[in-house]
Structure 1
Amino acid sequence: MQQDQRKKSLKEMDFFTEYGYANRYKILEVIGKGSNGVVCAAIGTRTGEKVAIKKITDIFEHISNAIRILREVKLLRLLRHPDIVEIKRIMLPSSRRDFKDIYVVFELMESDLHQVIKANDDLTQDHHRFFLYQMLRALKYMHTGGCFYFVKCRFASYHLTEQPFIDYSLLVSCTHIS
């Protein structure tokens, strides 16, 4: 039991490199990896809330990446819609000197649309229509607010019959959001 705790704390230490917020979250598992970093499922130690924490590494390695990440975070913080994933918190380092990684805390989705499609051979046209309806509803909200065009998007879903949320990355422009 003690060895399991030690392994978990080492995993958390590897994930949280220089942040004091590490004690607020217990890392459960890695749920995704990409070119920008890693996403872990975690649970709030004070609240018990399940979240996804996206660690974006070496954000200042290329200025274009830093600008893109700043734009993405700023825009996603403004977007409040049932079909768009919500940012809960952004964790910054205590010192500017240590600022090389950023941690963005999102609501945790049980799976993404790719996994849902892959795992379910029996999705009906009604399922497809429902997913498309929710995507278009989120896009309409974004366009109404002046957010235009994205390079890629990821779809996440709690369950086939519940609201999926859309995590839009690389938003280009946003003039106003109501």
Structure 2
Amino acid sequence: AQALPGEIPAASQGTMNNLAMGESGEGGARPWDYYETMAGGMGGHRHGDGLAAVHSHMTNTLNTPIESLEEHYPLRVRRYALRRGSGGEGAHRGGDGIERELEFLAPASFTLLTERRRHRPWGLEGGGPGAAGENRLNGEALPPKFTGHARPGDRLLLASPGGGGYGLTENEQKNREIGKLS
């Protein structure tokens, strides 16, 4: 951004929000495994707002439809929605992340490999940061990188980061101008 002012967007979610889970099949249980990367917000830029609920800076990744997930795995999708307001403020807002909450219907192991849970995606040219992501099991916060075990009925929530905002809003620009006059 310093080398090419105005050409670089604010920070995007900065993570693939990796979730791997499954069960080995011990004790007669049906073995299964599943891996997904989850979308988040892109940073705003000088030409417009950042995109919401997209995979940023990576390719060949699709969204797994809820119906397929529930049909083929012992999981129930309890929530899958935009994480409204998670994009950073600015003349051009950062894109919003998503919230995806899964309920386990059978015992499973899971691993999270996520980023931007402590450090928020930064804004540029006066834009605000996007919201940091969150990982929760039954409402309890989990670290960005974690391996755990779930029982039937447990709920795992991944809330992906929003993108950073770009530029000052009109009110911020006016306030700066007023400050210069006083």
Asked which structure has the greater RCO (Cα within 8 Å, sep 6+), the reply is 2
> TM-score, normalising length from structure 1?
0.25
Which of the pair is proportionally richer in helix?
1
> TM-score, normalising length from structure 2?
0.25
- Largest Rg, 1 or 2: 2
